[in-house]
Chain A
Amino acid sequence: MRREPRVKTLRIDDCDCAGREDQTVLDVARENNIRIPTLCQINGLTNVGSCRMCLVEVKGVPKLLTACTTMVWEGMKVVTNSERLHEYRKMILELFFAERNHICAICVANRSCELQALALELGVDHIRYPYLYQALEIDSTHDKFVLDHNRCILCTRCIRACSEIEGANTLGMMRRGVNDKVITDLNQPWGESRTCTSCGKCVNVCPVGAIYEKGLSRTESRREHTFLPYLTIMRGER
């Protein structure tokens, strides 16, 4: 016996909003044209709340909550953009830039990169932390695609797309902490993967220049991920 989701009213910044109880704060904010920065979130895939860009303050809750994973509740009061949140978001971006190797000038994603765009938007103009510069490999064994670990921000969008939409479960993650690494199958070269269908979904959801199509120039490699919600619905209905 399924119950219809109830409607809740809440306040996001200065806006009185209505949302269904199965909607996230992020969904409702977007419907009301309130912009909350995001990186790991992408419509059509499960939300994992890992990039922490969408952290918001909720009145009466001592902890900061991620807008992408928090369902709305009645009477909720949300602040999406305080001085403190802005500082944290900038620091988080700095940490991303310092983590691996981000030299935009030589990157396929230059000017179509969500990380770069956020840095511009939030005014991150220098990095105060030493670059960790781990020496990571580039897997170009696949016929069509390349995976450059040096630019990966470990958002797991590709992993989720591969498993939740394509159903191939080719992509996964190994190790932990700063040594986390996206892998194909059991850490075999991508080109040798027998599960990859070469569908290209992972390429299209990657927010940065970590997974890209071979042989395309920068301007050609624009990402297209508006198809995901559609596919999600199709998959859900099967």
Chain B
Amino acid sequence: MTHDELAEIRKAEQERKQKYKHKINVCMASGCLSLRSDLVKEAITKEVDKECLADSVLVSKVGCVGLCSQGPIVVLETKGEVREGITPEDAEAIIKSLGAEHDGGNSNELVDGVVLRLDSKFFTRQKKIVMEHSGLIDPDRIEDYIAVGGYESVLDVLTEMSPAEVIDQVTRSGLRGRGGAGYPTGLKWSTVAKAFSSSGEKFIICNADEGDPGAYMDRSILESNPHQVIEGMIIGAFAVGASKGFVYVRAEYPLAIERLKIALKQAEKFGFLGHNIGGTTFSFTVELRYGAGAFVTGEETALIASVGGQRGLPQQRPPYPAERGLFGRPTLINNVETLANIPPIIRNGGDWFAKIGTEKSKGTKVFSLVGKINNVGLVEVPLGMPLREVIYDLGGGIPDGRTFKAVQTGGPSGGCIPAEHLDLPVDFESLQQAGSIMGSGGMIVMDDASCMVDVAKYFMGFCKSESCGKCIPCRVGTVQMHAILERITDGTATMEDLGLLENLCGLAKNASICGLGQSAPNPVLSTLRYFRDEYRAHIEERRCPAGVCKFKNAGKDVYEEDLEVRDETGTSS
């Protein structure tokens, strides 16, 4: 594939689309699909055929639009409208509405489904780089991606740039890993590029093992535009000198896997993967590997073990994967979102990217908003946007007239940020200073009906059952910490227990092998920092301020509880 050939495909595709007067996009990412958006698309297509509009109305399947809880979502692109909760029965009304001139409120009557304009705050306050084409193109058509400029960066890189120049652009962009730790991507790339491999072999792995509770950014990216990730991988492989890549994707993401498979086949067919890509000497292939759904295999050394066919256990570092990774060779591991940022960075230059965001946190971040928030869904915002805007302008605020209490960011490795920090800019440093982290971008919003001790207990329970068991501070530490939290929410804990809890937090943080154990205490530490009163109330007053915890054992000690159990089973009088 040459630049000219690519340009030809792009032009043909653009012209084909311009022929249509109206474009209707039906979201077919997991969220909407689970509400049978496929039937909606079928019905709309039938309606178009029935009305003999096939020449003027294009009905396409697209990826995630972002309003995942209100599906099925249909976007009338040409009218600038987003409609939610569409059923197959609405097809007729939708097609009819195409004819009518748009006049604000009236369209509400045409279709049973609230209308959100594409120029409403939810969309305009976002800044889309990673999700730029999400919800606008068909993830299963490489031509759709090429039409919006896809794969141009690869050809540019291969024919006009040296690996060092590519790395330089990535370094200048200031991009930091989106998988959790926020490590500078350019630095990682140059380390792997410089690492010595006795066999000359190096690898690149795309980490698509996303396992944080409440997070589905990577899934959405893969379901909405897998080609952008593959393109990022090819560029990364060229930059570090890898000839083989793996996508480690969790098996619970069947749709993402299906679309990745299709995309890989297409990329190969179009000559972006395989031998002598773009007529150059560079060759690169990508294979899929499926994770069986263990959170810990997202940790890079565990992931490498798993890709290599071993039990997915983390390893003490050093050595780092950049030096000794898959099969003992230098290996570049990047997150899905990190890689999806690469093609736009190459297309627009590192300096362009560096202008977005804050001084130390560049670019945008995709967040999944879940919990007690009106717009449960995916948003992409420039880093540095105040939390308040994310939650109120984009998220639409807290439902049922309740008040905001805290937002949990960074998943089980993160922490809770209380209302007094609502004006915090969302970037790597600020979140860390507030005792939480960016993590992979999950945001769980909680209202005043949530008990923070209970929240901490939930995350500790998660870590406890996801611990791989290799090292003792995490394997047994999480169990003991969870047990103490349970005693606190049961009303059977003492202030001594709280001391033990804090000790164990310190041990797990400092003595565990990998990030899972090291960060498992974070939800506890951050809730202790902001909501110590709630812990006190539970322990000293045997009372849950939010009314969540049921003190079935309040006032009794553990032994009495044991006796009661025996009573029930009839073994004692």
Which residues of A come within 8 Å of B, CB atoms? 48-52, 55, 63-66, 69-71, 88, 91-92, 95-96, 98-99, 128-130, 132, 153-154, 173, 175-180
Contacts and interface: CB of A to CB of B under 8 A. Distances in A.
A95 B468 contact: no
A95 B477 contact: yes
Interface string B491-524: 0000000001001100100111100000000000
**Chain B interface residue count: which class?**
20 to 34
A50 B513 contact: yes
Contacts of A66: 316
B490 to A, nearest CB: 13
Contact of B467 (A50, A65, A178): A178
B476 A95 contact: yes
A173 B475 contact: no
B358 interface: no
B53 interface: no
B472 interface: yes
A128 B464 CA distance: 19
A177 B467 contact: yes
A228 to B, nearest CB: 21
B469 A48 contact: no
B472 A96 contact: yes
B473 A92 contact: yes
Contacts of A130: 480, 483
B470 A95 contact: no
B168 interface: no
B471 interface: yes
A230 to B, nearest CB: 26
Contacts of B34: none
10 tightest CB-CB pairs across the interface, nearest first?
A: A180-B469, A49-B316, A177-B467, A95-B476, A69-B316, A177-B469, A99-B476, A52-B511, A50-B470, A50-B471
Contacts of A50: 470-472, 513
Contacts of B511: 52, 55, 64, 88, 92
Interface in B442-491: 464-473, 475-480, 483
A129 B466 CA distance: 21
Contact of A178 (B475, B504, B510): B475
Given A178-B467, A178-B469, A154 B479 contact: no
Contacts of A128: 500
Contact of A98 (B467, B471, B480): B480
Given A98-B480, A176-B468, A177-B465, 16 more contacts: A48-B470, A49-B315, A49-B513, A52-B513, A69-B315, A88-B510, A92-B472, A92-B511, A130-B480, A132-B479, A154-B469, A177-B464, A177-B469, A177-B475, A179-B469, A180-B475
20 contacts: A49-B315, A49-B316, A50-B470, A50-B471, A51-B472, A52-B471, A64-B510, A66-B316, A69-B316, A88-B511, A95-B472, A130-B483, A153-B472, A154-B469, A173-B311, A176-B296, A176-B469, A177-B465, A177-B479, A178-B467
A72 B424 CA distance: 43
Contacts of A71: 318
Given A49-B316, A69-B316, A178-B467, A129 B473 contact: no
Contact of B472 (A52, A70, A175): A52
Contacts of B469: 154, 173, 175-180
A179 B479 CA distance: 11
Interface in B254-305: 294, 296
Given A52-B473, A129-B500, A177 B468 contact: yes
B318 A177 contact: no
Given A49-B316, A50-B513, A177 B472 contact: no
A213 B291 CA distance: 39
B475 A92 contact: no
Nearest to A71: B318
Interface centre among A66, A92, A98, A177 (most CB of B within 10 A): A177
A178 B476 contact: yes
Contacts of A179: 469
Contacts of A48: 315-316, 470
Contacts of A132: 476, 479
Interface string B230-242: 0000000000000
B459 to A, nearest CB: 15
B507 A92 contact: yes
Nearest to B477: A95
A23 to B, nearest CB: 14
A164 to B, nearest CB: 14
A122 to B, nearest CB: 14
Contacts of A49: 315-316, 471, 513
A63 B472 CA distance: 17
Nearest to B500: A128
A177 B466 contact: yes
B303 to A, nearest CB: 15
A177 B507 CA distance: 17
